[in-house]
Structure 1
Amino acid sequence: MADLQNDLPTTTEVGELPDDPFPAEPHDRGAGDEDLERARALLAEHPVADGYSGLPWALRHLNQYDLEAGETAVDTDVPRLREGHVGALFWSLHQPESPSGGALTAALDQLDLARAVIDTHPEGLRLGTTAGQIIDARNCGRVAVVLGPAQAAALDDSLGVLRCLRTLGLRVLTLTGTAWAGAAGLSRFGEEVVREMNRLGVVPDLSGASEATVRRTLAVSRTPVLCTRSAAAALRPHPANLPDTLLAELGEAKGLCMVPLTAEQTGPTVRDVADHLDHVRSVAGPECVGLSGTYDSGATHPHDLADASRYPHLVAELLRRGWSEPELSLLTWGNAQRVLRSADFAAKAAQHRRDPSTVRMTELDGRI
């Protein structure tokens, strides 16, 4: 596969779950569609964990902005996140343009910007570096921001850099675009990267990775993996979409396919997106399907899914198709929480068994 490198209601104390931490705006309550009202009620209990947002890059080009008051220059702001019942947002550190200072410098710049944005919007956003912190943010009526995915090239083939990025909050790394994760799959050093990611709690992202890399990562990783921007290739051919064989293997490994809301990958309508969600659920299982808005990434979105406020319309379509409330709760929130929680638990266990790895690529792979 081709490389795709192109994360106010009254404050509630931690541990107390408000009835609806992300209430819809009053004007949005007038819709007469019963399924839409059911969708909003469900999302009030089980908000969306959105697997891919390009917001940091989009904000980089704005001289000033206020996400808490509302910002029309981007697809995502706090009012629309609340209207869409988004409880967690994965902020991508990918670079759609070739970074002049190198991949590591670009990733650090993005991390610095992301943390600054969170710090300047404390009433709406909160950094979540663990599954528990994401729950705490929701309980306090904030949208949790998860940092990542980032490009594997940012590691500069150094496991020490990986540890530093994790210390800065990185949770997801895309395994593409390097000599150790390419068309031939993971090299020996690539396998060591995955093991160290497991030890640190950094989740592998396999969207855009080669089939060989996907299969070898599934075999090596001791934690579930993500595909942060992948739909069903059987319905719409695209370099990042997964064939049924890989979807089935991902399901067996309890990984998560986060279906993007983009016209290019899923189609131009809400029904097209729902078709992909139906297909992934059928092939991989309801515990292995999630959502990826891909807002502010430069993508064109399906009709009626133009920004982060429109998730209730997608959930209403799924209700009309017979999705059960337990299945929808997994789709929107439960599956992403499971993957992050599994990574947290595995990291704690691995840190008791395994010291930080200091090997270099040249020691395992020679000079590639």
Structure 2
Amino acid sequence: MADLKDELDAGSEVGELDDLSDRSARLPDEPSASVTGTGEDTDADLLDRAHALLAAHPVADGYSGLPWALRHLTFFDLELGESAVDTDIPRMREGHVGALFWALHLPEGIGGDRAVAATLDQLDLVKTVVRAHPDGLRLADAPGPITDVRHRGRVAVLPGPAGATAIGDSLGILRSLHGLGLRALTLCGTSWASEAGLTRFGEEVLREMNRLGVLADLSGASEDTVRRACAVSKAPVLCARSAARALRPHPANLSDELLRQLGAAKGLCMVPLTAEQAGPTVRDVADHLDHVREVAGPECVGLSGTYDAGTAHPQDLADASRYPHLIAELLRRGWPDSDIALLTWGNVQRVLREADFTAREAQRRREPSTAKIADFDG
């Protein structure tokens, strides 16, 4: 990882990415793709255009439940292909997945020390799986290394999000998990991040996350928590599994008011490819992407396959190979190449880059927090 970090040239990446909204869909060090349609594209033409776009701007997938799913298999080979799960390396290559967040969420009812231990077990499993598949996977934790991993023909793996119970109300455990590679934490399900919103200790947790560069995931959090996190966080927040509540009233989906607030905060709503949250067809998923883009802006929308998380998926989006079919539907609807490039790759890179910049600045100004929950909420 140190070698990869040494190769990061953040200055040139920022300038090139900013050009996306002004003149082209090129991302840093990416080849251009000639994918402009004629207005009379057939289904096959649209799919070809989708593959061409994704070859240049692959998918940075915001949520995979693979670590927990693999715990139940006695043997697996993700490089060869694994029919027992939705995600393996051949299907990720077919779907043009360039980066993937591997969630460390736990089943309901696991809390306290058990939650900390189970999260550590999953982190260890993530590293073991990545080491066992060196030709297809690499750990990465920042935009430069992620791009480098992708250029080497591998999928970048980012550990997280984990549930907030994983830190056991301890900022020291948060720092330890970050040191082991944790990249995102979901702010719900604890006394300091609940239906009542963020407590003062919860705000201190968020400030320490900003200092470390750990992303705040707000999917499943209460509306009060979402609002307060958007106001307190100095780095962009994300909703790793949230669609539009105006189209489908799922509790993890976001109202238009929250979408607008997320867009104003330069956060990211990552629409899940699940039938429960988005609907039973690829068109339903595209409807949610249209809605989020319109309400929050094209820089606020991303994708979460949510594969291997125990959920049903829409027709034509059954596994990680099917992203081109979704992109073809967006092309049919007239999405410009630049907006698709942001959706699949650019927005995640921007959020990671801004989180890293915020962390570097915060570390210059602030020592690690030694606060305890009793200091605020006791």
TM, length-normalised to structure 2: 0.88
Once the 2 structures are TM-superposed, how far is the Cα of residue 17 of structure 1 from its aligned partner? 5.8
Question: Aligned residue for 1:58?
Answer: 69
Question: Aligned residue for 2:35?
Answer: none
CA–CA distance in 2 between the matches of 1:233 and 1:132? Answer: 34
The equivalent position to 1:80 in structure 2, one of 91, 94, 97, is 91
CA–CA distance in 1 between the matches of 2:116 and 2:271? Answer: 28
Question: Aligned residue for 2:79?
Answer: 68
Question: Aligned residue for 1:240?
Answer: 252
The equivalent position to 1:302 in structure 2, one of 308, 311, 314, is 314
Q: Do residues 224 (structure 1) and 262 (structure 2) align?
A: no
CA–CA distance in 2 between the matches of 1:273 and 1:32? Answer: 18
Q: Do residues 35 (structure 1) and 46 (structure 2) align?
A: yes
Aligned length: 343
Note the 1:132-147 alignment, pairs <5 A: 132-147=144-159
CA–CA distance in 1 between the matches of 2:205 and 2:157? Answer: 24
The equivalent position to 1:89 in structure 2, one of 88, 100, 104, is 100
Note the 1:12-27 alignment, pairs <5 A: none
* Contact 2:30/2:57 (8 A) holds in 1: no
CA–CA distance in 2 between the matches of 1:313 and 1:251? Answer: 26
Question: Aligned residue for 1:124?
Answer: 136
The equivalent position to 2:188 in structure 1, one of 155, 170, 176, is 176
Question: Aligned residue for 2:275?
Answer: 263
Question: Aligned residue for 2:287?
Answer: 275
Task: Work out the percentage of aligned pairs sharing the same amino acid.
Answer: 69
Q: Do residues 45 (structure 1) and 74 (structure 2) align?
A: no
Counterpart of 2:68 in 1: which secondary structure?
helix
* Contact 1:17/1:139 (8 A) holds in 2: no
* Residue identity opposite 2:78 in structure 1: L
The equivalent position to 1:285 in structure 2, one of 297, 311, 334, is 297
Give a deviation string over 1:231-253, Cα, whole Å, max 9, x none: 00000000100000000000000
Counterpart of 1:52 in 2: which secondary structure?
strand
CA–CA distance in 1 between the matches of 2:297 and 2:75? Answer: 43
Give a deviation string over 1:16-55, Cα, whole Å, max 9, x none: 96869xxxxxxxxxx9710000000000000000000000
CA–CA distance in 2 between the matches of 1:68 and 1:262? Answer: 25
CA–CA distance in 2 between the matches of 1:71 and 1:85? Answer: 17
CA–CA distance in 1 between the matches of 2:74 and 2:117? Answer: 21
CA–CA distance in 1 between the matches of 2:30 and 2:349? Answer: 19
Once the 2 structures are TM-superposed, how far is the Cα of residue 136 of structure 1 from its aligned partner? 1.2
Question: Aligned residue for 1:203?
Answer: 215
Give a deviation string over 1:293-349, Cα, whole Å, max 9, x none: 000000000000000000000000000000000000000000011001110111011
Unaligned runs of 5+ in 1: 1-13, 21-30
CA–CA distance in 1 between the matches of 2:187 and 2:95? Answer: 30
Give a deviation string over 1:265-320, Cα, whole Å, max 9, x none: 00000000000000000000000000000000000000000000000000000000
CA–CA distance in 2 between the matches of 1:108 and 1:120? Answer: 18
Counterpart of 1:102 in 2: which secondary structure?
helix
CA–CA distance in 1 between the matches of 2:102 and 2:334? Answer: 31
**CA shift in 2, pair 1:275/1:18, >3 Å:** closer
CA–CA distance in 2 between the matches of 1:247 and 1:99? Answer: 31
Q: Do residues 107 (structure 1) and 119 (structure 2) align?
A: yes
Once the 2 structures are TM-superposed, how far is the Cα of residue 99 of structure 1 from its aligned partner? 3.7
Question: Aligned residue for 2:25?
Answer: none
* Contact 2:30/2:56 (8 A) holds in 1: no
Question: Aligned residue for 1:3?
Answer: none
CA–CA distance in 2 between the matches of 1:17 and 1:334? Answer: 12
* Contact 1:103/1:154 (8 A) holds in 2: yes
Once the 2 structures are TM-superposed, how far is the Cα of residue 139 of structure 1 from its aligned partner? 1.3
* Contact 1:224/1:256 (8 A) holds in 2: yes
Counterpart of 1:126 in 2: which secondary structure?
strand
Note the 1:177-196 alignment, pairs <5 A: 177-196=189-208
Once the 2 structures are TM-superposed, how far is the Cα of residue 133 of structure 1 from its aligned partner? 1.3
CA–CA distance in 2 between the matches of 1:32 and 1:251? Answer: 32
CA–CA distance in 2 between the matches of 1:220 and 1:32? Answer: 46
Counterpart of 2:104 in 1: which secondary structure?
coil
The equivalent position to 2:350 in structure 1, one of 331, 335, 338, is 338
Over aligned residue pairs, what C-alpha RMSD do you find? 1.6
Once the 2 structures are TM-superposed, how far is the Cα of residue 206 of structure 1 from its aligned partner? 0.1
Counterpart of 1:144 in 2: which secondary structure?
strand
Question: Aligned residue for 1:363?
Answer: 375
Unaligned runs of 5+ in 2: 1-6, 9-27, 33-41
CA–CA distance in 2 between the matches of 1:123 and 1:130? Answer: 20
The structure 1 segments of at least 4 consecutive aligned residues displaced by more than 6 Å after TM superposition are none
Q: Do residues 329 (structure 1) and 320 (structure 2) align?
A: no
